[in-house]
Amino acid sequence: MDKTVNQKAWFLILPVLILVAFSAVVPLMTVVNYSIQDTFGNNQFFWVGLEWFEDILSSERMWNALGRQLSYSAIILMIEVPLGIYVALHMPKKKGFSASICLVLMSLPLLIPWNVVGTIWQIFGRVDIGLLGYTLEKLGISYNYTQNFYAAWFTLIIMDVWHWTSLVALLAYAGLQSIPDAYYQAAKIDQASRWNVFRYIELPKMQGVLMIAILLRFMDSFMIYTEPFVVTGGGPGNATTFLSIDLVKMALGQFDLGPAAAFSIMYFLVILLISWVFYTVMTTLDKRDGV
């Protein structure tokens, strides 16, 4: 006997779908329109085709910004993922007061708005009034994130690690909590070492949440704007001018709407491509584990 399927529930979410589609499609179409046209003002446009895309792809400025962006994201992942796993492994495994306190403390950095994080570290790193900058200066270490390339990168990386390692740790902790005690009991009977327990029990069980953590952190670090803009403004020179900052400078600072629109579309496509790669890897791993 065929089962009757009721599709009326779609009408309940239809208004939301229409609103989201409208708010997403209209700005996207506006950007596409600017990317293939040019204007001399007075709201008069003329067709230029793919000229802006060719200019952006041949621009050394864009490739330099992309290199800085990829380097920053790679450094962030190499630090935050292992550190988040290490923190999760040392958090209380049993539910109780201590576990609740740890979860609250780990969640606090995630609740701070991005612009506030940038302001905190901008003050924290100042040589005259900031604790970090003043301490390093007293120790004889030259530290000025507004003038030194390495100091600027060090400040942004430490700031990001402080702000977002908690996310990786909480996701890894959730993965650890889902492991049945029977696995640990079997490992204890077999006298497995701590490394073998991590390698063959904990790491495979955390694989799914770690892929989500890597995806979230890569996407966020690849699109980072507020924190480096507040702290360094893209400087010194162009040392911390990432893709997002370069795009805003092009669109608002120089008011080159055509090149900026083409730039943003390529930026969006790169993010979409990377997201698709991560999604493919995650689904492949899920299928393999399900076999």
Residue 213: give its domain's CATH number.
1.10.3720.10
CA 204 to CA 200: how far, in whole Å? 6
Range of the domain at 167: 61-255
Structural contact between residues 263 and 62, judged by C-beta atoms closer than 8 angstroms: yes
- Write the CB contacts of 84 (distance below 8 Å, at least 6 apart in sequence): 165, 166, 167, 168, 169, 171, 172, 213
CA 35 to CA 236: how far, in whole Å? 30
Structural contact between residues 167 and 110, judged by C-beta atoms closer than 8 angstroms: yes
Cα torsion 160, 162, 167, 169: sign: positive
In a domain, 130, yes or no: yes
In a domain, 28, yes or no: no
In a domain, 71, yes or no: yes
- Amino acid type, 134: Y
In a domain, 41, yes or no: no
In a domain, 102, yes or no: yes
Nearest by Cα to 248 from 42, 57, 9, 65: 65
Q: What is the DSSP letter of 175?
A: H
Of 49-53, 177-181, 277-281, least confident by mean pLDDT is 277-281
Number of domains in the chain: 1
pLDDT tens per residue, range 113-159: 888 999 999 999 888 888 888 888 888 888 888 888 999 999 999 99
Hey, what are 180's tokens? 């049945």
pLDDT of residue 166: 94
CA 231 to CA 229: how far, in whole Å? 6
Q: Does the pLDDT of residue 240 top 80, yes or no?
A: yes
Number of residues that make up the chain: 291
Q: Does the pLDDT of residue 36 top 50, yes or no?
A: yes
In a domain, 87, yes or no: yes
DSSP code string of 87-134: HHHTS-SS-SHHHHHHHHHHHGGGGS-HHHHHHHHHHHT-TTT-HHHH
In a domain, 192, yes or no: yes
Q: Strand runs (DSSP E) across the chain, as ranges?
A: 37-39, 45-47
Hey, what are 232's tokens? 């360094």
Q: Does the pLDDT of residue 291 top 50, yes or no?
A: no
Q: Does the pLDDT of residue 287 top 80, yes or no?
A: no
Query: For 219, what's the count of Cα atoms within 13 Å in the CB-facing half-sphere?
Result: 17
Q: What whole-number percentage of the chain has pLDDT above 90? A: 31
Coil, helix or strand for 238? coil
Q: Whole-model pTM?
A: 0.86
In a domain, 150, yes or no: yes
